[in-house]
Structure 1
Amino acid sequence: MWLTTVDASPVGDGTDLAFPAAERCRRRFPWSWEPGETHFGGPGVWVGETDLVMATVRYDGRVGVPKQGFVVRRPIGEAATGTPAWVFPVDRTPTALDIDPSTDTVLVALSGGELIALDAATGTPRARGHVHVRGVPVIPTALTVTGPGRLLLGTGDARVLLCRLAVGSERDGGA
């Protein structure tokens, strides 16, 4: 599997991304940064001018649960080699990912119900915790940053939560 980028349509037709002309597709480098490993893609977000923060999982060749999950920042510009700027391992499959550009914080939701806030530049954890609604754990399946410190969080039980992000707050455990 390769990380491939698609050049923008010369006529600005966004629907052309679904079936781009072959000459607009560029193979950048293998999806896995470790030789011999098989990584599969997940959600991602563009950061800065040339970087991608993405979630991926590594399989060991057996059917079933992935062996390891990761959130990784990789430069994907013209001269990029595929070497990650940072790698943050997670113990569950990432289900959603977005960035709050006002704080340079990457938010990652995991299939085990955890929400993690990472520094986009370094991958250092800023906060992490399990998502609860009225004391009941829920599984975050989607998240979208809607403005500085605000996000929509979709859950596995069909709720959509409007949340305020308070990274580092002692009152709410940091997230």
Structure 2
Amino acid sequence: MIFAEALGRLEGLGRSAAALLPGLGVALVLFGLGLVVARLVRAAVRRAAALRDASPGSAAVLGRIAGGVTILVAFLVAASVAFPSVSAADLFNLLGIGGVAIGFAFRDVLQNLLAGILILLTRPFVIGDQIRAGSHEGTVEDAGCAPRCCAPTTTSEC
């Protein structure tokens, strides 16, 4: 009796899983297309930023942001197709709660990242400039969205 009941439940789970397979296949195809579109968007944003006389670092950062947003949208669309019972509102609520948790956990990292993006966009200095920050002094070798070290011109390290 117990064995037959367990077997019946397993068969029901198998039928449920088989019913999800076509949706999962379509979702994987949609997500794959989203990855291709994200790559195209990233390249287009980089080219557009370069045409507007943006620095290579800021063009790369803007391209990564645009590509990341495109991948996020592709994931949300694929999740909605794969699991029709999950609504877009549920996914956005999950993103909101997750965003707050990640924001608190990585506050310092995100603060440095946003500061780096701001420096890239405002361009207060360019590669090759001589800068001084407190007791540190050096030449700017690279400008990206993450904080970087400059080549020291004195014996003190950057």
TM-score (norm: length of structure 2):
0.24
TM-score (norm: length of structure 1):
0.23
Identify, as 1 or 2, the structure richer in helix: 2
